[in-house]
Amino acid sequence: MLRFLSLFLLTGLTLLTGCMVGPDYVGPPCPPTPKEWTQNDHKEVRPENPAIDDWWMVFDDPVLNTILTAVNEQNLSLRSAAWKVYQARAALCATQGQLFPAIGTDASYSYVKMSGDNKPRGTDLFASTWDWGVSANWELDVFGQIKRYIEAQEAEVEATEDDYRNVKMVLMADTARTYIDARLYQERMEIVRANILQQREFLRIIVARFTKGKDSRLDYSQAVANLAAVEASYPSIMSGYRESLNRLSVLMGCPPGTVDELMKKVEPLPVAPDAVAVSIPADILRRRPDIRAMERRLAAQNARIGVAMAERYPKFYINGSFGLEADRLDDLFNARSFTASVMPSLSWRLLEFGRIRCTIMQQEGLTEQMKYDYQETVLEAAEEVDNAISNYVRLQQRVEYLEETVVRYRQALQLSEQLYSAGRNNYLPVLDSQRYVLEYEELLAVARANLATSVVQIYKALGGGWQVDPVSAGTGQQIDRFRNRYAGEAPTSRPGESVNTNGPLASRHDLPVEVAKSSSRQSLSTTRATLTEEQKANLATTSESPQQGTESMKEIQSAKNLNQQYPLDLQPENTPTTRLPKKAPSVVIPPTEAPKSQPDPLLEGLRK
């Protein structure tokens, strides 16, 4: 038995001393990237290393931090991506097992009674056989085809891990954007409610002046119509707010309504920092998990060229078995019952009429295609970052202009109301000012929300938010995995080297204040108009309830039937009544009979 095993292993080891065919992987040449971003000359852009592990801390918003923590722990898409990593690692383990022989065992017992008429002389009528054996099958990886399979699978595992990080990065950004949208809807509801309360207060003055004959019916009708138009915009805002809350709940891996308690209190919009740190363009190679995943898949595809080239060469197999066989169980373990066999074999695809050559050409072509796809992805990532930075800078300017516009329109509204109350002007300037104040207060709220969203987009484009555990960032394994993969001139920051070693924001003390944290929540963090104390008291009764949407609608619905408070036939004092023409009778459309549903053949078959 020992002689047989020695022969088996010696034959295998002799044939294993081969080589790996196919090209060894060399990283793709780095595409031309700019040395700095195009907006670096603006004071809002700092070419410093950002703290991108927990970039959302720049908003200084505890509710946002709580929601993002829950998303990181409970999101179902993230869990699904984690199980894809598990599957890829299991597939790698199975591929590595192909390097070793497959060994199995079997045992049997047979009892045979032969016919007495046909029994040969000298043989027994009854015969029994005991059999036990071990078999082994081994494909010898002489030309490295299996090793190339393993190389490709290892790269696929790393790509899947980066896919997981990319899912986390996108989820963090989507959650922050959705949260900003929810706060924007809250702010817009506050703006509309404040505007409605102001218009109702001023409408009392219009009614008083109209009943005394100081104003025309046109002013009165325009004021009532303007109030109704503002109230009509409220339900759509509430609908968007509910959708944002439901989306946040689902991102947290929870049913709709879960996040309502967290969003119960109305808070101002998240305030964007006065400046952002963006580092250098080459850093996106090591930070963006989608770029890292594409580079790993390119490495896997390069290994598949070697797999295809190995088909040109012969394959060597060793099939062997040894066992015990005896007529009686007592004799099974005697030395004479030992049986063994060794069967080396060879297979070689000689005449394939170009099939192998064409397969190699196909794999080489796909590898070259993926190189250009990778370079294009890098350039598109640089474009995304630069666009996000430019958007941030321009939104900063837009917010400044809109803040000035809102202040001026509020002054114009106050002045026009004073002139109208004193009888020195008609109602048209008041009406225009009311519309412009509402319009530009909402535009300012949207611009501030877009500014905060642009910060989210910058950090997402830079590849931040996936390294939640900063302790394991920048390990030697990551450095060795990605070092020296780029031919020619390597970027300043090589992919994977010191990934996120700058650490989380909480531990960064070298960042400027305007970069590390958002500005204090100044008075302009809210865009709603300045209210009187009485209006603030009325507004407070509808702004801090758990069911904010429902409670707020009660406030709006109290004046739903405007004709009861401000009737269309209201007349000035001592003036003959002028009746408005009656409305045309409504046309009653008879209900049509619903068409009878036709039976579905598939469903009918299932019922049977």
pLDDT in tens, 523-535: 444 555 444 455 4
Q: Report residue 224's pLDDT band, with 50, 70 and 90 as the boundaries.
A: confident
Q: What is the average per-residue pLDDT within 150-164? A: 92
Q: Which has the closest alpha carbon to 497: 468, 465, 464, 474?
A: 474
Strand order across the beta sheet in which 338-347 lies: 102-113, 126-140, 315-326, 338-347
288/381 Cα distance (integer angstroms): 8
The top-scoring range by mean pLDDT among 291-305, 310-324, 508-522 is: 291-305
The percentage of residues in the chain with a pLDDT greater than 90, rounded to a whole number, is 21
More confident residue, 149 or 208: 149
Residue pair 46/275 in contact (Cβ under 8 Å)? The answer is: yes
More confident residue, 607 or 399: 399
Q: What is the average per-residue pLDDT within 100-107? A: 88
Residue 597 has pLDDT above 90, yes or no: no
Residue 32 has pLDDT above 80, yes or no: no
Q: Which two tokens stand for residue 293?
A: 């995943």
Residue 27 has pLDDT above 90, yes or no: no
340 class by beta-carbon count within 10 Å (0-12 exposed, 13-18 middle, 19+ buried): middle
More confident residue, 547 or 381: 381
Please compute Rg for the chain using Cα positions.
39
Report the 10 Å Cβ neighbour count for 479: 16
Q: What is the residue whose two structure tokens read 């918003």?
A: 61
Residue 297 has pLDDT above 90, yes or no: yes
Q: Report residue 522's pLDDT band, with 50, 70 and 90 as the boundaries.
A: very low
Give the chain's length. Answer: 608
Residue 591 has pLDDT above 70, yes or no: no
Residue 556 has pLDDT above 70, yes or no: no
Cα dihedral across residues 247, 251, 255, 261: positive or negative: negative
Residue 2 has pLDDT above 60, yes or no: no
Least confident of 15-29, 104-118, 160-174, 508-522: 508-522
Cα atoms in the Cβ-side hemisphere of radius 13 Å centred on 481: 22
Q: What is the average per-residue pLDDT within 316-324? A: 85
Residue 137 backbone phi and psi in degrees, to 5: -125, 130
Q: Which two tokens stand for residue 362?
A: 């196909």
479/487 Cα distance (integer angstroms): 17
Least confident of 155-159, 206-210, 341-345, 586-590: 586-590
Least confident of 447-456, 527-536, 543-552: 543-552
Q: What is the average per-residue pLDDT within 456-466? A: 85
- Look at residue 119 in the predicted model and tell me its pLDDT: 61
Residue pair 241/223 in contact (Cβ under 8 Å)? The answer is: no
Cα atoms in the Cβ-side hemisphere of radius 13 Å centred on 369: 7
Q: Report residue 439's pLDDT band, with 50, 70 and 90 as the boundaries.
A: confident
Residue 470 has pLDDT above 70, yes or no: no
| Cα angle: 410, vertex 411, 413; to 5 degrees | 65
270/102 Cα distance (integer angstroms): 61
Q: Report residue 512's pLDDT band, with 50, 70 and 90 as the boundaries.
A: low
Q: Report residue 110's pLDDT band, with 50, 70 and 90 as the boundaries.
A: confident
185/552 Cα distance (integer angstroms): 13
Q: Report residue 283's pLDDT band, with 50, 70 and 90 as the boundaries.
A: confident
61/271 Cα distance (integer angstroms): 9
Report the 10 Å Cβ neighbour count for 356: 16
Q: Which two tokens stand for residue 70?
A: 């829950």
- Look at residue 152 in the predicted model and tell me its pLDDT: 93
467/19 Cα distance (integer angstroms): 39
Cα dihedral across residues 499, 505, 509, 512: positive or negative: positive
Q: Give me the residues paired with residue 344 across strands.
A: 318
Residue pair 290/321 in contact (Cβ under 8 Å)? The answer is: no
Averaged pLDDT of the chain: 75
pLDDT in tens, 202-220: 788 778 877 877 767 787 7
Residue 605 has pLDDT above 70, yes or no: no
Q: What is residue 261's three-state secondary structure?
A: coil
Euclidean distance between the first and the last CA atom of the chain, given in angstroms as a whole number: 64
Q: What is the average per-residue pLDDT within 296-302? A: 93
Q: Report residue 511's pLDDT band, with 50, 70 and 90 as the boundaries.
A: low
| Cα angle: 388, vertex 393, 397; to 5 degrees | 140
Residue pair 284/208 in contact (Cβ under 8 Å)? The answer is: no
- Look at residue 55 in the predicted model and tell me its pLDDT: 84
CA distances from 407 to 32, 137, 437 (A): 47, 84, 9
Q: What is the average per-residue pLDDT within 259-268? A: 88
Q: Which two tokens stand for residue 375?
A: 């370079």
- Look at residue 564 in the predicted model and tell me its pLDDT: 54
- Look at residue 528 in the predicted model and tell me its pLDDT: 53
- Look at residue 451 in the predicted model and tell me its pLDDT: 93
Residue 93 has pLDDT above 50, yes or no: yes
